[in-house]
Amino acid sequence: MRLFASKRNKLLALALVVGLALVPAVRVAAGWGPDRPTFTWAAPANYITFNSITNNPVVGDERPFLAGKVATNPGNVVDNINVNDNDVVSLRVFYHNNAREDLNLVATNTRVKIFLPTIPATRTWATSFIVADNATPRAVSDTVDFSGARPFTLEYMPGTAQLWNNIFRGAALSDDIVTNTGALIGFDSINGRVPGCERFSGYVTIKVKVNMPGALTPAYACDLLNVDARDNRRVDANVDFTATGGAIFKNVNFAWGDGQSTLTSKTSAKHQYAKDGNYNIHATLTFDVGGTDKTATCSASVSFKQNKPVVKEVTKVTTLPNTGAGGIVGLFAGASGLAGLGHYFVTRRRG
């Protein structure tokens, strides 16, 4: 393959058509594979192999062949794309059968595949493959990285896969490009046949949309302190709580109202009082909210007389909202007492 001025000018013109600046894309070499023999513009391969020339005058090293950019951003494609919700990203694959032109070696059943990330993440990547039945290696790959402020996924926009070369200017390709089937490409027909030489090379482009759900608001609350009063001044207590949006329950401190307390990572505890009396029980729950400890409190009262629980109505109390950073602002009411063994569903208050 000789570098004739007319051939080079055609490749440069094609680069402009698909929106490339006339400089190689900024790339991270670690993204491509597999390791394979390399060639130069002046000394191409004597067999069918894709994207193994290291000094292409337009794209530079051909091995990192997948790049992209947010469609509305100016400038060249890049290998690390920062995205926001609803961004449309243009991805571009450069392909080139590096076989020397005078050998008339044609790659067959040549396809391009682009696999998009489906698991939400703040840092992720897409991978592209160029495959041909008679190429060595049969498949070459490259990646492009994405980053965002919140977890996101990428969604292929059907109908956007296009082929760009010296014959086609945006010919439609199969939407199978984002599946393991891949999309056939070609030179003068989309039949999978790609001859060797740079004048038969080209680009495949697709568009993808960024889906980045809104940030979750942490929610935490002590929903209910449940106290079961028994003979011999014994109580069994447990708490129900809410922890969503990234809030994580850590522990609860049961203050029994007699100067004693129990700290536990479980949601229940037992206690026995030394003498009859009226006792106010407070359960203070601690949550991890974005690396900061936040608390919420439920309260209940219990009475013992002659070593036995006293069953009485529980006064309805309006609770105070948590006004701390990350807290939940809301009002909660108490619940009525139950008879029997002095089993109480009682009011709670958030601290």
Give the length of the chain. 351
CATH code of the domain made up of 219-346: 2.60.40.10
Other CB atoms closer than 10 Å to residue 11's CB: what's the count?
20
Per-residue pLDDT of the chain in tens (351 residues, 90 and over written 9)? 333 334 444 454 455 445 544 334 434 334 899 999 999 999 999 999 999 999 999 999 999 999 999 999 998 999 999 999 999 999 999 999 999 999 999 999 999 999 999 999 999 999 999 999 999 999 999 999 999 999 999 999 999 999 999 999 999 999 999 999 999 999 999 999 999 999 999 999 999 999 998 877 889 999 999 999 999 999 999 999 999 988 999 999 999 999 999 999 999 999 999 999 999 999 999 999 989 999 999 999 999 999 888 854 333 333 333 434 433 333 223 333 333 334 333 333 334
CA distance 156 to 207: 6
pLDDT given at position 319: 36
Q: Which residues pair with 222 in a beta bridge?
A: 241
Distance of CA 186 to the CA centre of its chain: 34
Contacts 24+ apart (CB under 8 A), 243-247: 243/219, 243/287, 244/216, 244/218, 244/219, 244/220, 245/216, 245/217, 245/218, 245/219, 246/216, 246/218, 246/289, 246/290, 247/218, 247/219, 247/220, 247/287, 247/288, 247/289, 247/294, 247/326
- Ordered by start, the domain boundaries in the chain are 5-211, 219-346
Tokens of 42: 């002046």
Q: Is the pTM of this model over 0.75?
A: no
